[in-house]
Amino acid sequence: DAGVIQSPRHEVTEMGQEVTLRCKPISGHNSLFWYRQTMMRGLELLIYFNNNVPIDDSGMPEDRFSAKMPNASFSTLKIQPSEPRDSAVYFCASSARIEAFFGQGTRLTVV
Amino acid sequence: GIQVEQSPPDLILQEGANSTLRCNFSDSVNNLQWFHQNPWGQLINLFYIPSGTKQNGRLSATTVATERYSLLYISSSQTTDSGVYFCAVDRSGGGADGLTFGKGTHLIIQP
């Protein structure tokens, strides 16, 4: 199994630009999670999906953030417009029942 | 929501030493996981252990759910054990609802 696959691994963008992060969960997993890691706030849950349906997006910081899961094998996290304070590592994770497995993360830098 | 506290926050040891990392949580859980974040930022699953004891090579973990704590033991430390160790529990105690992470223990193993 290839594990959870995220792209890109690194992204540098200018303030105001749209950023799209992508995630392919482990095949057969029905839950998908987006997390953000910063020095100040640590690892925090942004949103999660069960069977492609968003269940809880209370962790999404602002309306500039949106996430979609059009099918069982693909999800996106979009930031529009991006701001320097969005700079962080964004992780995607998936689970079949309870135990979660993480992708390698996308390091986002907004300048 | 659930609170997760890890101790110690930092630990510096010589190669070959043993260590015990602690995780306290504030409510009952259905999921508790230990992760190792290596210097490259990857989150590596160590244990899924909502209760009981497990061992994997030089690492072992014990969770006493009734007393709301978990311990991670590392024996005969190697420099490759360096990194941050996170404890994470499911947020609502009801299954795959997303993990709440502690702030981690930053472990440095010196040769």
Whether A76 shows a pLDDT value over 80: the answer reads yes
- The answer to whether the beta carbons of residues B60 and A6 sit under 8 Å apart is no
Model confidence pLDDT, tens digit, residues B49-97: 999 999 999 999 999 999 999 999 999 999 999 999 999 998 654 446 7
- The answer to whether the beta carbons of residues B37 and B44 sit under 8 Å apart is yes
Cβ neighbors of B88 (< 8 A, separation 6 or more) are A43, B4, B32, B33, B34, B35, B99, B100, B101, B102
Query: Do the chains contact at A104 and B35, CB–CB below 8 Å?
Result: no
Position B96 scores a pLDDT of: 61
Does B101 lie at the interface with A, CB-CB under 8 angstroms?
Answer: yes
User: Within a 10 A sphere around the Cβ of B10, how many other Cβ atoms?
Assistant: 11
The pLDDT of A100-109, averaged and rounded, is 97
User: Within a 10 A sphere around the Cβ of B14, how many other Cβ atoms?
Assistant: 9
User: CB contacts < 8 Å between A and B, how many?
Assistant: 57
Whether B21 shows a pLDDT value over 80: the answer reads yes
Contact residues, chain A, for B99 at CB < 8 Å: 33, 35, 43, 45, 93, 100
Query: Do the chains contact at B99 and A45, CB–CB below 8 Å?
Result: yes
Contact residues, chain A, for B102 at CB < 8 Å: 42
In one-letter notation, the amino acid at residue A41 is R
Whether B20 shows a pLDDT value over 70: the answer reads yes
Of B31, B41, B96, the CB nearest to A105: B41
Position A10 scores a pLDDT of: 97
Position B91 scores a pLDDT of: 65
Chain A 22-51, CB below 8 Å of chain B: which residues?
Answer: 31, 33, 35, 42-45, 48, 50
Give the helix ranges, DSSP H, for chain B: none
Query: Do the chains contact at A105 and B43, CB–CB below 8 Å?
Result: yes
Model confidence pLDDT, tens digit, residues A5-62: 999 999 999 999 999 999 999 999 999 999 999 999 999 999 999 999 999 899 998 8
- The answer to whether the beta carbons of residues B63 and B70 sit under 8 Å apart is yes
Length of chain B: 111
Query: Do the chains contact at B90 and A98, CB–CB below 8 Å?
Result: yes
Provide the terminal-to-terminal Cα distance of chain A, rounded to the nearest Å. 36
Of B88, B96, B103, the CB nearest to A97: B96
Q: What percent of chain B has pLDDT over 70?
A: 95
- The answer to whether the beta carbons of residues A73 and B5 sit under 8 Å apart is no
Model confidence pLDDT, tens digit, residues A60-75: 988 999 999 999 999 9
Chain A 80-109, CB below 8 Å of chain B: which residues?
Answer: 89, 91, 93, 95, 97-102, 104-105, 107
In one-letter notation, the amino acid at residue B55 is Q
Whether A1 shows a pLDDT value over 80: the answer reads no
Which helix (DSSP H) or strand (DSSP E) does residue A12 occupy?
A: strand A10-13
Q: B79, B85, B80, B81: which is closest to B101 by C-alpha?
A: B85
For B59, counting Cβ atoms within 10 Å of its Cβ (0-12 exposed, 13-18 middle, 19+ buried), the class is middle
Question: To which residue do tokens 């529990």 refer?
Answer: B89
Q: A46, A36, A3: which is closest to A108 by C-alpha?
A: A36
- The answer to whether the beta carbons of residues B47 and B57 sit under 8 Å apart is no
CA atoms of A55 and B32, how far apart (whole Å): 21
